[in-house]
Amino acid sequence: AEDGRDLEGQVDALAERYLKVDCACFTPNDNRTDKLVQLAKEYKADGVIHCSLAFCDPYLVESNRVEKVLKENNIPLLRLETDYSQEDSGQLKTRIEAFLEMLAAKK
């Protein structure tokens, strides 16, 4: 059943995967921010876009900590909040384009 070939194995595998999600709701914040900095450095990221779901308080509260940790590591940040509807897609596109232009100007 552990190999995922039957329903019980598939449910177990799915549950295990969900529990490994690196999310403000499911993981300690220090681990999450440490991983973010590690990945940014490993992939030589010019900046980070922190996109949080509107009305998700854990993400909104954590975004301040993410900003602080990235600032301490000299990694530029763009904070976005969205409800994933089409209504804010134009605004998000404009903000992301401006962030990319700012990053390009720093090179």
* Per-residue confidence (pLDDT) for residue 32, from 0 to 100: 81
Kindly indicate the confidence band of residue 101, based on its pLDDT and cuts at 50, 70 and 90: very high
List, in order of start, the domains of the chain with CATH numbers: 7-106 (3.40.50.11900)
Q: What is the mean pLDDT of residues 15-22?
A: 71
For residues 75 and 25, what is the distance between their CA atoms, to the nearest angstrom?
24
In single-letter form, the type of residue at position 17 comes to R
Write down the number of H helices and E strands in the chain.
4, 2
Kindly indicate the confidence band of residue 1, based on its pLDDT and cuts at 50, 70 and 90: very low
Per-residue pLDDT tens over the stretch 53-92: 888 887 778 888 899 999 999 999 999 998 888 889 999 9
CA-CA-CA-CA dihedral for 99, 105, 106, 107, to nearest 10: 120
Mean pLDDT of the chain: 86
Report DSSP letters for 20-38, one per residue: T---TTTS-HHHHHHHHHH
Backbone angles phi, psi at 12, to 5 degrees: -60, -45
Residue 96 reports pLDDT greater than 90: yes
